[in-house]
Amino acid sequence: IDQQAVEKAAQRLDMLTKPQGSLGVLEDIVKQLAGITGNPIPRLGKKCVVIMAGDHGVVEEGVSAFPQEVTPQMVMNFLNGGAAINVLSRHAGADIVCCDIGVASDVKHPSLIIKKVRYGTANMAKGPAMSREEATRAIEVGIEVAEDKIKGGVNILATGEMGIGNTTPSSAILTVFGCPVEKVVGRGTGIDDKGLALKIKTIIKAIEVNDPDPSDPIDVLSKVGGLEIAGLAGVILAAAAHRIPIVIDGFISSAAALVASKIEPRSVQYMIASHVSEEPGHKMMLEMMRLYPMLHMKMRLGEGTGAALAFHIIDAATHIQSEMATFESAGVSRSSSR
């Protein structure tokens, strides 16, 4: 983070025709982007949402409202342009890339990046979701996909995911990192009360069976995580390493961000939170990373949809810094109290 650029950005913001600080989060974003890019008047160019898709063995416990076949079906929907994330990314001027990092079946499409680490995770209620090597490899896949886009000229990334059942490992990760399981677990894509109780029981069981070590984020990922979650942690770490801002979507993306923050705490400085989802654990995750969600959309879809909406706001912030008049240029009097 370039502190000098942050200060220069702040000085310019205070010269613009508005009371100091009155644009709130827009000003915070400008300063953060200045620090990341080294430019006090930051500009965004190519945007890309990276969608990691993977399946979860734990669905055999009955924790999801949708059948597992929906994961590859939705991957095809992304590739054919019909999903919510396609609509919202298009409208925000962002590209999409979709990577099969662990779908339980084979998906074929010319635009799909196939870097399958394994065919879905194992059922974490019975043993580790994957091996330590697989978790490490999945993080590397995320780094590879992100670096490929960054080399292609993308200068802001967002996280997206698809994986039936993936609120369960995300909730398990948050629980291991210290939040009470009853407060963490939500209804995902739409389970009922009975399903909710089962989901809580399953997470408690998975943590008992695997005993993940909260001081070892790779251990947590491999035992109660997911392939797409590990992949997104890699995307986030790559963005931070290359000094690229990374927009964090909802609950699953934030589980990946939490893991990334445990691997490299400084990665948080590159994260921009987008929305706070309906999953109760999401707010807690964001608070643990001291990230502030600007959008309160009551959304619970994932895919990167909240992040795609946030692109508009981030764009707006950069326009404020580059296009607004100063007090001097506009001939406007300043506040008497400052």
Q: Cα–Cα distance between 94 and 116 in angstroms, integer? A: 25
* Residue placing its CB nearer to a copy of itself in the complex, 1 or 320: 320
Q: Establish whether 303 is a catalytic residue.
A: yes
* Residue placing its CB nearer to a copy of itself in the complex, 175 or 274: 274
The distance of closest approach from Cβ of residue 43 to a copy of itself in the complex, given in angstroms and rounded to an integer, is 13
List the one residue out of 264, 244, 236 whose CA is nearest residue 160. Answer: 236
Q: 3-state DSSP call for residue 162? A: strand
* Residue placing its CB nearer to a copy of itself in the complex, 92 or 174: 92
If one asks whether residue 1 binds a copy of itself (CB under 8 A), the answer comes out as no
If one asks whether residue 44 binds a copy of itself (CB under 8 A), the answer comes out as no
Number of neighbouring beta carbons within 10 Å of residue 80 = 11
One character per residue 302-331, x = contact with a copy of itself (rule: CB under 8 A) = ---x---x--xx-xx--xx--xxx---xxx
One of 52, 58, 158, 299 touching a copy of itself (CB under 8 A)? 299
Q: Cα–Cα distance between 279 and 141 in angstroms, integer? A: 27
The angle subtended at Cα 334 by Cα 332 and Cα 335, nearest 5°, is 140
Paired strand residues for 247: 158, 272
* Residue placing its CB nearer to a copy of itself in the complex, 76 or 204: 76
If one asks whether residue 38 binds a copy of itself (CB under 8 A), the answer comes out as no
One of 106, 133, 192, 213 touching a copy of itself (CB under 8 A)? 192
Binders of a copy of itself in range 251-290 (CB under 8 A): 278
144 burial level (CB within 10 Å; 0-12, 13-18, 19+): middle
Phi, psi angles (nearest 5°) of residue 64:
-120, 150
The distance of closest approach from Cβ of residue 111 to a copy of itself in the complex, given in angstroms and rounded to an integer, is 15
* Helices H / strands E in the chain, number of each: 14, 6
Interface with a copy of itself: number of residues (CB under 8 A): 69
Q: 3-state DSSP call for residue 52? A: strand
If one asks whether residue 41 binds a copy of itself (CB under 8 A), the answer comes out as no
* Residue placing its CB nearer to a copy of itself in the complex, 25 or 209: 25
The distance of closest approach from Cβ of residue 151 to a copy of itself in the complex, given in angstroms and rounded to an integer, is 29
Binders of a copy of itself in range 45-104 (CB under 8 A): 65-67, 69-70, 73-74, 76-77, 80-84, 86-88, 90-92
The distance of closest approach from Cβ of residue 281 to a copy of itself in the complex, given in angstroms and rounded to an integer, is 16
Paired strand residues for 16: 326
If one asks whether residue 10 binds a copy of itself (CB under 8 A), the answer comes out as no
Beta carbons within 8 Å of 167's beta carbon, 6+ residues apart: 185, 186, 188, 189, 251, 252, 279
Beta carbons within 8 Å of 59's beta carbon, 6+ residues apart: 68, 164, 165
Q: Cα–Cα distance between 314 and 89 in angstroms, integer? A: 14
Of these residues, 61, 134, 228, 303, which one is catalytic? 303
The angle subtended at Cα 300 by Cα 74 and Cα 126, nearest 5°, is 75
Q: Which amino acids are annotated catalytic?
A: 303
- Residues in contact with a copy of itself by CB under 8 A are 16-26, 28, 65-67, 69-70, 73-74, 76-77, 80-84, 86-88, 90-92, 189-192, 195, 278, 292-301, 305, 309, 312-313, 315-316, 319-320, 323-325, 329-338
